[in-house]
Amino acid sequence: MSTWQKLLAGVAGAGIFVLALMFSVVLFAVVATVGLAVWGWVWWKTRDLRKQMREQMERQRQGQGASAEPGAEGLVIEGEILREGEVEDMPGDGRQRRPDEH
């Protein structure tokens, strides 16, 4: 290649690099703007849900509990319900049960 061809190739390569850099900056700005708009929309739409969750957590901290359903008493650990109360031995297998269970 001659000197002029090398110089022209260098200038063309630099021009392509500058165009690619400009395109990537514009693309990044568009993606960031769209992402920020979507985040703001989701934040705005979920504000009531977040408020309800904060109020529920505050009620739980105050000991009122979050559920007013009948039978929602007791502590559930891995699917087992632990209740305070009297238990009686079941004949045969050594398990215990509450007097009101059948």
| Confidence at residue 62, expressed as pLDDT on a 0 to 100 scale | 86
| Confidence at residue 30, expressed as pLDDT on a 0 to 100 scale | 97
Cβ count within 10 A of residue 56? 14
Once rounded to an integer, what is the mean pLDDT over residues 61-70? 61
| Confidence at residue 88, expressed as pLDDT on a 0 to 100 scale | 62
Instruction: Provide the CA 31 distance to its chain's centre, in angstroms.
Output: 22
Q: Give dist(CA 32, CA 38) in Å, integer.
A: 10
Contact between 89 and 96 under an 8 Å Cβ cutoff? The reply is yes
Q: Give the tens place of pLDDT for each residue, 20-64.
A: 999 999 999 999 999 999 999 999 999 999 999 999 999 888 875
Contact between 77 and 84 under an 8 Å Cβ cutoff? The reply is no
> What is the model's pTM?
0.47
Q: What's the mean pLDDT when you consider all of the chain?
A: 81
| Confidence at residue 72, expressed as pLDDT on a 0 to 100 scale | 56
